[in-house]
């Protein structure tokens, strides 16, 4: 199997979307699932959520933000380059049905996969309100696509330099409008905040947990997430969980377990920049 990069779209600075040839994954994938990308034979495995697919062309797309060694290395690849491996589709698909009124909230790079859910929720007959949030305006990805798919769109930045300031305005929305379901994909702090806001209104709130993963198949136990006091695995029990029951503080703590090692690895790679040495990729 050849996992060739067919198209690259720059969504924002250091944020790209790749369309990759993977017919066997495209044939089975559903919204909410993810792939594990291995860039080169020596590379680590990183999970990325599928944000689009084309069953006829046999391609899947994922978007990533360049935060560490592997995502920075991925950001250097070009159309025509080939990934060493793509495993998937992994995780459980989202529960898509006609709930009535659905609130979809996406943060930063996770706006891209959120829009796949927005599309699916619309196709299932829901009225969809979408909120896009990011630290700064540049991070509010794919605004036009969000507008074309949703009944209503709100934009927010952390400092209010574009759109609403933070998520306080959501409280006001919920005082006036009733929602039957909320879907949140974004940084853990954002998913926690939205879940706290929706809880008093008893809106079922689904979050996508992004713990560190290795195999993505339930074998290594690295991706533990505590939900209602029970230990679950992000990869096989999730990645979506009830946001009112997830222990977000533990999730953040576990995501940061290897921060010093990740920083060293990223710095060493930057010093040695020149890309992958496996021969599959252009210099
Ligand atoms: C199910 C799942 C789906 C994901 N989907 C996407 C996606 O669609 N797009 C995307 O850009 N990222 C996604 N992530 C996060 C992505 O896997 C990490 O950003 C990536 O592994 C970082 O690798 P790295 O070597 O570049 O950085 P590292 O050196 O591993 O880490 C650099 C920084 O990123 C943080 N980080 C590492 N792993 C994660 C993680 N799992 N979640 C959040 N922060 C992390 C670290 O704490 C550190 O601050 C997903 C994670 C999971 C578990
Ligand atoms: S990533 Fe290994 S058990 Fe989930």
233 Cα: distance to centroid of ligand 2 (angstroms): 6
Task: Identify whether residues 85 and 157 lie together within a single domain.
Answer: no
Task: Identify whether residues 127 and 80 lie together within a single domain.
Answer: no
Q: Which protein residue's CA is at the shortest distance from atom 31 of ligand 1?
A: 68
Note whether residue 114 is domain-resident.
yes
Provide the CATH number for the domain around residue 131: 3.40.50.80
Provide the CATH number for the domain around residue 27: 2.40.30.10
Q: Write down the pLDDT at residue 283.
A: 44
Domain that holds residue 172: 102-199
Note whether residue 69 is domain-resident.
yes
Task: Identify whether residues 31 and 62 lie together within a single domain.
Answer: yes
Could you say which ligand is closest to the alpha carbon of residue 254?
1
Task: Identify whether residues 78 and 115 lie together within a single domain.
Answer: no
Closest atom of ligand 2 to 218 CA is 3
Q: Is 212 touching ligand 2 by the criterion CB < 6 Å?
A: no
Number of domains in the chain: 2
The model's confidence at residue 278, banded by pLDDT at 50, 70 and 90, is low
The model's confidence at residue 275, banded by pLDDT at 50, 70 and 90, is low
Q: Is 209 touching ligand 2 by the criterion CB < 6 Å?
A: no
pLDDT in tens, 154-195: 999 999 999 999 999 999 999 999 999 999 999 999 999 999
Work out the angle between the directed axes of helices 168-176 and 188-198 (0-180°, nearest 10).
30
Last residue in a domain, options 157, 179, 199:
199
Note whether residue 234 is domain-resident.
no
Could you say which ligand is closest to the alpha carbon of residue 63?
1
Segment holding 69, helix H or strand E: helix 69-75
Mapped onto helix, strand or coil, the DSSP state of residue 189 is helix
pLDDT in tens, 97-155: 999 999 999 999 999 999 999 999 999 999 999 999 999 999 999 999 999 999 999 99
Note whether residue 245 is domain-resident.
no
15 Cα: distance to centroid of ligand 2 (angstroms): 26
Token duo for residue 142: 């794919």
Note whether residue 238 is domain-resident.
no
Q: What mean pLDDT comes out for the span 214-231? A: 94
Last residue in a domain, options 148, 172, 199:
199
Token duo for residue 173: 């929305």
Note whether residue 23 is domain-resident.
yes
Last residue in a domain, options 145, 176, 199:
199
Residue 273 has pLDDT above 50, yes or no: yes
Residue 43: φ, ψ to 5°: -80, 160
Task: Identify whether residues 108 and 85 lie together within a single domain.
Answer: no
Could you say which ligand is closest to the alpha carbon of residue 216?
2
Note whether residue 25 is domain-resident.
yes
Q: Which pTM does this prediction carry?
A: 0.92
Task: Identify whether residues 12 and 77 lie together within a single domain.
Answer: yes
Mapped onto helix, strand or coil, the DSSP state of residue 100 is coil
Pocket of ligand 1 (CB under 6 A): 34, 46-49, 62-65, 67-71, 109, 113, 210-213, 234, 239, 255-256, 259, 262, 265-266
Q: Which residues of 2-25 are buried (b: 16+ CB within 10 A; e: fewer)?
A: ebebbebeebbeebbbbbbbbeeb
């Amino acid at each position: 199997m050849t996992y060739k990069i067919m198209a690259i779209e720059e969504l924002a600075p250091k944020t790209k979307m790749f369309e990759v040839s993977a017919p066997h994954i495209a044939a089975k994938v559903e919204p909410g699932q993810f792939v594990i990308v291995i860039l080169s034979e020596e590379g680590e495995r990183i999970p990325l959520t599928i944000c689009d697919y084309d069953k006829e062309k046999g391609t899947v797309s994922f978007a990533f933000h360049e935060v560490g060694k592997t995502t920075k290395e991925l950001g250097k690849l070009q159309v025509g380059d080939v990934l060493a491996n793509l495993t998937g589709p992994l995780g459980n698909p989202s529960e898509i049905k006609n709930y009535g009124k659905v609130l979809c909230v996406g943060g930063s790079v996770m706006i891209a996969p959120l829009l796949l859910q927005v599309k699916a929720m619309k196709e299932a007959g829901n009225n969809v309100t979408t909120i896009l949030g990011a630290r700064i305006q540049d991070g509010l990805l794919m605004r036009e696509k969000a507008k074309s798919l949703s009944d209503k769109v709100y934009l927010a930045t952390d400092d209010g330099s574009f759109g609403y300031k933070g998520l306080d305005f959501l409280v006001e929305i919920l005082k006036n409008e009733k929602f039957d379901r909320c879907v949140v994909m974004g940084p853990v702090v954002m998913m926690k905040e939205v879940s706290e806001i929706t809880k008093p209104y008893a809106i079922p709130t689904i979050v996508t947990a992004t713990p560190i993963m290795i195999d993505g198949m339930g074998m290594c136990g690295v991706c533990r997430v505590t939900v209602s006091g029970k230990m679950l695995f992000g990869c096989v029990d999730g990645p979506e969980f009830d946001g009112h029951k997830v222990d977000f503080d533990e999730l953040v703590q576990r995501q940061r377990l290897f921060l010093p090692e990740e920083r060293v690895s990223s710095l060493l790679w930057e010093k040695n920049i020149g890309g992958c040495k496996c021969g599959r990729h252009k210099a």
